Amino acid sequence: AFTAHTGIDVNVAFLENGMLERLLAEGVRSPADVILTVDISRLAAAVAAGVTRPVLSETMLANVPAQFRDPDAHWWGLTSRARVIYASRDRVGDGEVTTYEDLTNPKWAGRICTRSGTHSYNLGLSSAMIAHLGEPGAKDWLAGLKANLARKPQGNDRAQIKAIWAGECDIALGNTYYMGEMLADPEQTQWANSVRIVFPEFGDGGTHVNVSGVAMTRAAPHPAEALKFMEFLTTPEAQKIYAEANYEYPVAPGTAPSDVVASWGSFTPDPTNLMDIAKLRATALRLTEEVDFDG
Ligand code: FE
């Protein structure tokens, strides 16, 4: 749709299951010019695999704040998603939970649901926790969160919100855009309506965010067109279209999210660069296993 919109002729690869392996197998003969994907872990994996190339442009630098792009310019964020707390409208009052650290408070014992601690979304959050609290603090946080779980980690983000609706737990971790997806699905609207979004901050400030982003492939057969396309994607105009479709937040300064997304409230994103968070992933995985988070 974007290539039709822009009239720029590029081949886009969506970095989903198996695509990175395919790009590696195709090597220099790959027809892909541009990679689009969600989550810093996938963007960082593509960079580490050597299938991307750095690109710099004044337009992109102006449209994408520093924390949402690779310091080495291999990937560029387009929209962001926050990892937030979904709280029962009936059983959790305003102001009862305001920080990620609050999740370890014994008052939540047996009341929290989450997906696996080894999923990328939770590893992103626990990596950020290491950046904020250091390794021992992050390990204590993981252990304290585990101690408050209503059940073993299981299911996806939406399954946790369904569990709140069903009365199995009172608060859950989840990404913001799932609220939009649930509201748009007649079978899930009642789950969405049973909760409200709380934007927690780290104790020292900022809400954990991740990105949907873009990168140019190392083998791009049409690099000039690919750069034009990437520049277009980073414009506020394109980010608005993108954010409207995926219920995310445009990263361009001064660009507002859609009305439905704006209705959930506002927050200040953690200013830590996502590449610094990505570098802590292996440590986060080790800590998650050390506390037997999913056990
Ligand atoms: Fe998701």
120: CA distance to ligand 1 center in Å? 10
Choice between 168 and 18, residue whose per-residue pLDDT is larger: 168
25: CA distance to ligand 1 center in Å? 27
247: CA distance to ligand 1 center in Å? 11
DSSP result, 185-223: STTTHHHHHTEEEE--B-TTS-B-EEEEEEEEETT-S-H
Q: Cα dihedral angle (98, 151, 123, 213), rounded to 10 degrees?
A: -80
99: CA distance to ligand 1 center in Å? 22
183: CA distance to ligand 1 center in Å? 15
pLDDT tens-digit map of 161-175: 999 999 999 999 999
Mean pLDDT of 15-33: 93
224: CA distance to ligand 1 center in Å? 31
2 pLDDT above the threshold of 90: no
58: CA distance to ligand 1 center in Å? 31
pLDDT tens-digit map of 114-162: 999 999 999 999 999 999 999 999 999 999 999 999 999 999 999 999 9
Record the tokens describing residue 218, joined without a space.
Answer: 């190392």
1 pLDDT above the threshold of 60: no
pLDDT at 17: 82
pLDDT at 10: 92
Choice between 4 and 95, residue whose per-residue pLDDT is larger: 95
pLDDT tens-digit map of 29-78: 999 999 999 999 999 999 999 999 999 999 999 999 999 999 999 999 99
Q: Confidence band (pLDDT; 50, 70, 90) for 3?
A: low
103: CA distance to ligand 1 center in Å? 22
92 pLDDT above the threshold of 90: yes
> What is residue 168's DSSP assignment?
S
75: CA distance to ligand 1 center in Å? 19
pTM of the shown model: 0.94
pLDDT tens-digit map of 189-210: 999 999 999 999 999 999 999 9
HSE-up (13 A, CA, CB side) for residue 172:
38
175: CA distance to ligand 1 center in Å? 7
Give yes or no for a contact between 93 and 132, defined as CB atoms under 8 angstroms apart. Answer: no
9 pLDDT above the threshold of 90: no
Kind and range of the H or E element at 175? Answer: strand 171-175
Q: Cα dihedral angle (94, 98, 104, 109), rounded to 10 degrees?
A: 10
121: CA distance to ligand 1 center in Å? 8
282 pLDDT above the threshold of 70: yes
